[in-house]
Amino acid sequence: MSEITRAVPVARPKPIQAVPLRHPWRNLLAFALIFLLLAFIIDAAQREAYDWPAFALYLFDVRVIQAAGVTLALTFLAMIGAVVVGIVLAVMRETDNPVLRAIAWGVIWFFRGTPVYVQLVFWGLLSSIYQTINLGLPFMEPWLVLETADVIPLFWIAVLGLALNEAAYMAEIVRAGLLSIDPGQTEAASALGMGWWLTMRKVVIPQAMRVIIPPTGNEVISMLKTTSLVTAVPFSWDLYTRTRDISAATLNPIPLLLVASVWYLFFTSIMMIGQSRLEKHFSRGQLGHGATPKRRRRQDRADRAPVVLASPETVAAPSGAGAPEGAGMSDVAGMTEGDAR
């Protein structure tokens, strides 16, 4: 007797009839919020105090656009300086040198412990405290005497004040990212002969960016809004101060405040999109990367789908005969090697 092995599907099990959890109060709350939002929009569109014609007039005013550009320049220059100084402070905090650790801790303690507005006021008074900058040897006549107000413009004083304050926070963010990496990875890199810089560039920093990017994005957005405090320097070319000056001349502050808010929201939206793309870039290869709630639900349904199993069945055939008449290609492929001979 020759034997042919055939796969016979097992009966499909009945799927679980799961009933999704209903949230009637959540839907009711959503409708209530939408109703309140529409009511506010309709009321605001008809309220004269908002003065929408003046809002449209000043939204793309040349002075406002120039002030928006200055605000962006303040934001990015201050953040670049903050990131550089923050990295230095973070490395100093983790070094074995107690003097460097103490200096870094003191700088972070001071700038995190005092209000940024107070710091900007002091930076604005820098030219009053140090009226001249003397270059030369100590206890001798200076070779060169420079007026502080001429050497350091108010724009760069504002950048310096914002950068040093933000550097204290960036130092802790960078330090948290570095501490999130398993020490075994740096030890393995050292065992392979990789130097400190190569280990940081190839092993530590790419993984630490997953931890560093989200809070850094928040700090950039926060810096954009903190630039409105540079009026304490006093620097008057940022977006908020410029719109405030225009409103003081027109005696109509509400539409100018709306203009500034729209520009801040526009820049914030662009920064949030950039932050999201950076997070996706540095999260490649991470478990669950790119999985939205909708994709997770679809994957869960696919994982719970019943699987069709197959069990072999032995079918007897007359001795010397080949495949039974009408057998398909899968049945012929299932013949034993002895039957083929």
Q: What is the pLDDT of residues 93-124, one digit of tens each?
A: 988 899 999 999 999 999 999 999 999 999 99
Q: Is residue 268 part of a domain?
A: no
277 domain residue, yes or no: no
Q: What angle do the packed helices 52-59 and 239-250 form, to 10 degrees?
A: 130
Peptide bond connecting 234 to the previous residue in cis, omega within 30 degrees of 0: yes
Mean pLDDT for all residues in the chain: 82
Distances (CA, A) of 196 to 50, 99, 190, 203, 204: 59, 21, 8, 10, 10
Q: Residue 215: which pLDDT band, with cuts at 50, 70 and 90? A: very high
Per-residue pLDDT at 7 exceeds 90: no
Quote the domain boundaries for residue 107: 65-242
Question: Could you tell me if residue 146 is inside a domain?
Answer: yes
How many structural domains comprise the chain?
1
Say whether pLDDT at 329 is over 50.
no
- Asked whether the predicted pLDDT for residue 190 surpasses 80, the reply is yes
Domain contains 338: no
Residue 8: inside a domain: no
Q: Is residue 272 domain-resident? A: no
Structure confidence at residue 122 (pLDDT): 93
Sign of CA dihedral 77, 228, 60, 272: positive
Say which CATH number the domain at 97 has.
1.10.3720.10
- What is the distance, to the nearest Å, from the Cα of residue 294 to the centroid of all Cα atoms in its chain? 22
Q: Encode pLDDT of 10-26 as tens digits.
A: 667 777 777 777 777 88
In a domain, residue 281? The reply is no
Instruction: Quote the percentage of the chain above a pLDDT of 90.
Output: 49
Using a 10 angstrom Cβ sphere, with 0-12 exposed, 13-18 middle and 19 or more buried, the burial of residue 178 is buried
Tell whether 118 is covered by a domain: yes
